[in-house]
Amino acid sequence: MKDKPNEWVSISDLMAGVMAVVMLMLVVSVLQNKAAEAAMAVEKQQMEAARQEERSKGDAAQRASLSKLLAAMQSDLQRTGETDLVDIDIQNRRLTLPDNAFARGSACITPEAKGALTLLSARVATFIQDYGQGQVLV
């Protein structure tokens, strides 16, 4: 039986070759998908970093304009001599009414404090309109 050639041997060699080519194509396809996913992840990270930088620039500009607005309020109060009726903290971006702005034993503000707040009312209105995230706490 060994003397007679077997036709199945050549067919099995052919099928093994075809399987090797198919497996190679599958591996190449998987590697291409992995590379594309990695490239997309890097691009997404770059876009997120750019957005974060843009947000921080916008926040810095907003803080600067708010500090400028508070400085203008402070200069208005200094010009009229009413700095003791409204405390303006530019660094913490805060307006505070001290105890002397209220009548003794009352929750009502004094006429002098009312005048100081009337002076600042236009700038406070600008603050409320321009800064949607800003808060006015009473």
Q: Cα–Cα distance between 111 and 75 in angstroms, integer?
A: 20
- 95-to-28, 35, 124 alpha-carbon distances in Å: 65, 55, 10
The pLDDT mean for the chain works out to 83
Q: Is residue 31 part of a domain?
A: yes
Residue 69: Cβ within 10 Å count:
18
Give me the number of domains the chain comprises.
Answer: 1
For residue 117, give its domain range: 7-130
The answer, yes or no, to whether residue 113 has pLDDT greater than 90, is no
Digit-coded pLDDT (tens) for 68-92: 888 888 888 888 877 777 777 777 7
Digit-coded pLDDT (tens) for 27-40: 999 999 999 999 99
- Pick the more confident residue, 106 or 19: 19
